[in-house]
Every structure is written in structure tokens, then in C-alpha cells.
Amino acid sequence: MAALRKLLIATTNRGKLREFQDLLAGVPYQLTTPDQEGIDLQVDETGTTYEENARLKAIAYAQAGGLLTLADDSGLEVEALGGAPGPFAARFGGPGLTDAQRVAFLLAHLEGVPPEKRAARFRCVIVLATPEATPRWVSCEGNCKGRIAFEPHGSQGFGYDPIFFLPDLGQTMAELSPGVKNRVSHRAQAAAHAREHLVRGWPDPFVPD
């Protein structure tokens, strides 16, 4: 049996890696990580949209590793904050903050805002890219609507998951089991579209330089 081609998951975030390994289980590729491939790379996310940032990362890692690569960019958009922090969610509040500190920083900006005005959504864009000198790429998007809780709850997720409340489920994203989260999350929806491309054999034919 021929060995499966590798698909590089371009993130060092352990939470994301676990989710992608679950979400992409069964695709006709061998999933691999930057650590496994010996890739030590920092990509400046200079884009102003999720797609731009995901594309920058996907192409940079694809060319560094010589592999078909998947990268994502995601963010939290809060209506009461005019859609902020958006693509800058991972840097909201400044560099060097922990997830808990960013959550506290966001909650401080919503102090006194009532439940009906705390609407928010998570958005995720995944980009698949080839390592060719002129790379080919395709993007996939997902989003999940909810509202911002008044305090963190749950320990299953990462990032802003503990304060992202899903009214239909009565729990925050961080209170969901991995199985439920991987059905309803923004990343799950984007990954489902990416899975469709991968199962169909995108990009076929694939001949790297």
C-alpha cells in the first residue's frame, strides 16, 4: 500500500492541534505538525482579515516544509465592541497576556452591558496551500453565534471559550464535551469544508517544484 501524503497542520497551539486531529480524522493524508517536521517558524500576521492571515501562514509553512499545508485564523467578534477584537483576538489587550488575562480584559470592556447586548460570534477561516513556487490555495469559513457570559465557565476549551455562551445548549464553549464542540464550533464548520476538498483529492494533480 502506498504511503499517504502528508498534510502539515500549521500551528503550535496544542488545543488547536487536538481539535484538528479529531476534525480531520480519516482524511486521505497523514497529519503532521511543525514539531514533527522540524519546522521552527514565526509568521507575522500582518493581514487585516482572517483569510489574509490564514493564507500567510499556510503558504509560509507549506514552502518551509515542502508539504501541502493547512492553516487557520480565527477570532471573536463582539457586537457591543463594534466587532472587536476580530482578527486581532489573539493579541487583544497587548502582547504577552495569558488566555485568562485576555478574557478578563474583554470582560472589563463589557462591564455593565446587559445580556441582550452581549451578542457575539466566533469566526474561523482555514486555508489549504501547496508548497509550489506559485502556490495554489483555497479557503473555507465557519462561524458560530452566541453571547459573552459575565464570567468564565468550563475548562474544556482555550482562548475565549470560557466566556462564549451558547444559548441553545445552555453552556459556554469551554463546558462542551470535545465531541459536541467538534460538531458546533466555528473551527468544526470550516474544517468540514476543508475535509470535503481533501477527500476529493485537492489539489489534483499535485506536483511540487
- DSSP-assigned letters across all residues of 15-56: HHHHHHHHHTTTSSSEEE-HHHHT---------SSHHHHHHH
CB 148 within 8 A of CB 106: yes
As a CATH number, domain 6-199 is 3.90.950.10
Average pLDDT, the chain: 92
Residue 157 has pLDDT above 70, yes or no: yes
Q: Which residue has the higher pLDDT, 45 or 82?
A: 82
Residue 154 confidence class, pLDDT cut points 50, 70, 90: very high
Percent of all residues in the chain with a pLDDT value above 90, rounded to a whole number: 78
Residue positions annotated with a catalytic role: 73
Domain locations along the chain: 6-199
Question: Cα separation of 25 and 179, whole Å?
Answer: 13
Percent of all residues in the chain with a pLDDT value above 70, rounded to a whole number: 96
pLDDT recorded at residue 111: 96
Q: Which residue has the higher pLDDT, 57 or 156?
A: 57
Residue 2 confidence class, pLDDT cut points 50, 70, 90: low
pLDDT recorded at residue 88: 85
Question: Cα separation of 27 and 153, whole Å?
Answer: 33
Tell me the pLDDT tens digit for each residue of 197-209.
Answer: 999 888 875 444 4
From the list 194, 158, 174, the residue with the least C-alpha distance to 13 is 158
Beta bridge partners of 151: none
pLDDT recorded at residue 3: 63
Question: Cα separation of 154 and 167, whole Å?
Answer: 15
CB 163 within 8 A of CB 148: yes
